Amino acid sequence: MIFELGNSLSLRGCGRGASYRNPSNCGFVRSRLGRVGIAGISLVVFGLYVHAILGIWRADWLRDEHDRPSLEASARLEPWDAQTHWLLGRYFLYAAVDPPNALLAFRRAVKLNRYDAHYWLDLAAAYELGGDSGQSKKALEQALRAEPTSTEIAWNAANFYLTQNDTSRALPLFRVVLEYDPRNTAAALDLCWRATKNVTQIVTHTLPAQPASYFVLLKILTAQSQSAPANELWHALIAQKLKFSVEEAFPYFDYLIQTQQIDQAKQVWADLRKLDSALQDDSPSNLVRNGGFEAEALNGGFDWRSGQTSQIHVSLDTSESHSGTRALRIAFTGPGVSDMGVYEYVPVQPNTRYRFSAFVKTQDIITASGPRLSVQDLSTGKMATTDEFLGTSAWGQRTAEFVTGPETHLVTLRMVRIPGNPLIKGTFWLDDVELTPASAAPRAIP
């Protein structure tokens, strides 16, 4: 009883002017009330925080559903989130095909974030679908200002300008793509060609000073049999004086051979010789390139080519040669073969007599049909051949003469067997191959 009365008096005595009674009790009460207040405020803040976190989580979860109700609910939960409005706009634009609602969502997105070019691109698309080309172009310009160095934005903007037939704006944007994103080179150049059909425009406004882009476009043009544009592009490439390996030009060169554009092939070869001094001819009078096999075969152009098969072994032999340091060696292992796979294209003049010669050595060639050297006229299919090589013999010269037809501008030198089905074993070596006009004096060979 006394204890309870004391406590009651102590509590009442914690008011104004009560410090003389029991000030320690007043401090205790105030401290406890303060802790309770802080705890209460903390619980409220924590509750608000959890509510906010749950709201954000739910908004993100709804946004990932990508359907209209979910996206609209997400936008209500996070009205400040630009991406949510952008996704909602994409739903209206591409799924619902509802340009007015798409415009509302995209405008909200760019208002909240002016620095994401994707928002501006989709806004441009919505304007275009709604028939407002003027606003569409303004939105495109905003996209490019937002991310001027992005190849993705340049690619999308360039494609968009093409849909508006605005090649003057599209082509320079494709140049950005070609310079910094080689993965899209072929697709970009194919679009440029289909949109313009004009090599000069593409060279001037799109192609960077990189030879790789020129060769990609050459491949596109030759695949479509666009000979005149391809030739124009080649001359533009050479005029740029860009450095590239001669092998990069071989696919274009082969296209010229296949389409019988021999004069252009000769021009390409002359250009390549200026580019690479190693391609200089051995002798001005000898039309065969690398007739002594002293240089490595290029396997392209007007040089020796070789397609290896399992039926024979072809190599350059440094232990045997007629002159110089090596010769071509072909070894037969038994199976019949009609074409050794070694050949060279040689440009010639129509209605002209030519003399073909080569030095040959044989060892143990056993067969009913020996190998021969042949010259084939590509325009008529006619052939001139040497006698067959059989048995074992020292180095000796083999020759043949032929006259080109009125339309002949190219012949092929080959090693063949006629017929090619009999079994064959043995080895022969080839060196100092020459093709000259019959009136020209042959080069002296020791």
- Each residue of 397-410: pLDDT tens digit? 999 999 998 999 99
User: What are 168's two structure tokens?
Assistant: 């003057």
pLDDT at 379 (0 to 100): 76
d(CA 276, CA 377): 29
User: What are 226's two structure tokens?
Assistant: 């666009």
pLDDT at 347 (0 to 100): 95
| Dihedral class, residue 348 (left if φ above 0, else alpha if ψ from -120 to 50, else beta) | beta
What residue segments make up the domains of the chain, in order of their start?
81-279, 305-437
d(CA 84, CA 78): 8
| 329: helix, strand or coil | strand
pLDDT at 257 (0 to 100): 96
| CB-count exposure of residue 12 (10 Å: 0-12, 13-18, 19+) | exposed
Buried b (16+ CB within 10 A) or exposed e, 49-74: eeeeeeeeeebeebbeeeeeebbebb
The fold of the 81-279 domain, in CATH, is 1.25.40
pTM for the structure as a whole: 0.76
pLDDT at 381 (0 to 100): 78
Q: 251: closest CA among 293, 280, 222?
A: 222
| Dihedral class, residue 131 (left if φ above 0, else alpha if ψ from -120 to 50, else beta) | left
Residue 154, CA distances (Å) to 96, 144, 209, 391 in order: 27, 7, 18, 69
Whether 386 and 400 have beta carbons less than 8 Å apart is answered as: yes
d(CA 314, CA 329): 6
Please confirm whether the linkage preceding 419 is cis (ω < 30° from 0). yes
pLDDT at 429 (0 to 100): 97
pLDDT at 87 (0 to 100): 86
CATH class label, 305-437 = mainly beta
**pLDDT beneath 50: ranges in the chain:** 1-13, 15-21, 48-59, 61-63, 441-446
Do domains 81-279 and 305-437 share one topology? The answer is: no
Please report which residue ranges of 259-368 form alpha helices under DSSP H. Answer: 262-275
pLDDT at 22 (0 to 100): 54
For residue range 6-56, what is the model confidence (pLDDT) as tens digits?
444 344 445 444 444 455 555 555 676 666 666 667 655 555 444 444 444
